[in-house]
Amino acid sequence: MTKHTANFIPDESNPLQEKFINYIMLDGKKSIARKIFNNTLKIISKKTSGDPEKVFSEAIDKVKPRMEVKAKRIGGAVYQVPREVKPDRQTALAFRWILAAARGKKGSPMAQRLANELVEASNQSGSAYKKKEDTHRMADANKAFAHFARY
């Protein structure tokens, strides 16, 4: 697969990046999603003067939640039961939160918004990182209901 456009990076992405590109994709337009991702990596490399792929993977790792709460109905009452998050779901949630944060901001191109969110996440700030912190806080607050997890 060869392309002759100047902003295309051929076959250099790893499975994590390919999965992220699939999450960016809307309406089956993968080439547009790939362009957005490649432009995002370029913007990150200009901003941080470091390896953009390292910043990307670092951001994903820092946004992955370890704990979450799940609503469980027991005897007519609904409890928020804290539970550990499986690795596949951790990655999916991190992708989802980063993209939601980037899509939530308006006024600049998607690649720019995504680059900003990834850089902020790798620096442990930004909307997606805040979402992870809120999720952990919620799980901590509901530790009293942890014994309901086995039901």
Question: Mean pLDDT, to the nearest integer, of 43-62?
Answer: 92
Q: Which amino acid is at 113?
A: R
pLDDT (0 to 100) of residue 50? 84
Tens-place pLDDT, residues 66-119: 999 999 999 999 999 999 999 999 999 999 999 999 999 999 999 999 999 999
Residue 143 placed within a domain:
no
> What are the backbone angles phi and psi of residue 34, rounded to the nearest 5°?
-65, -40
Residue 80 placed within a domain:
no
> What is the number of structural domains in the chain?
1
What is the H or E stretch that residue 104 is in? Answer: helix 87-104
User: Is the CB of residue 111 less than 8 Å from the CB of residue 21?
Assistant: no
Q: How far apart are CA 17 and CA 123, in angstroms?
A: 19
pTM of structure: 0.87
Residue 55 placed within a domain:
yes
- Domain harbouring 26, CATH code: 1.10.455.10
Q: Which amino acid is at 134?
A: D
Tens-place pLDDT, residues 113-145: 999 999 999 999 999 999 999 999 999 999 999
Structural tokens at position 55: 């910043």
5-9, 35-39, 46-50: segment of lowest average pLDDT: 5-9
Domain enclosing residue 55, as ranges? 15-66+87-133
Residue 7 placed within a domain:
no
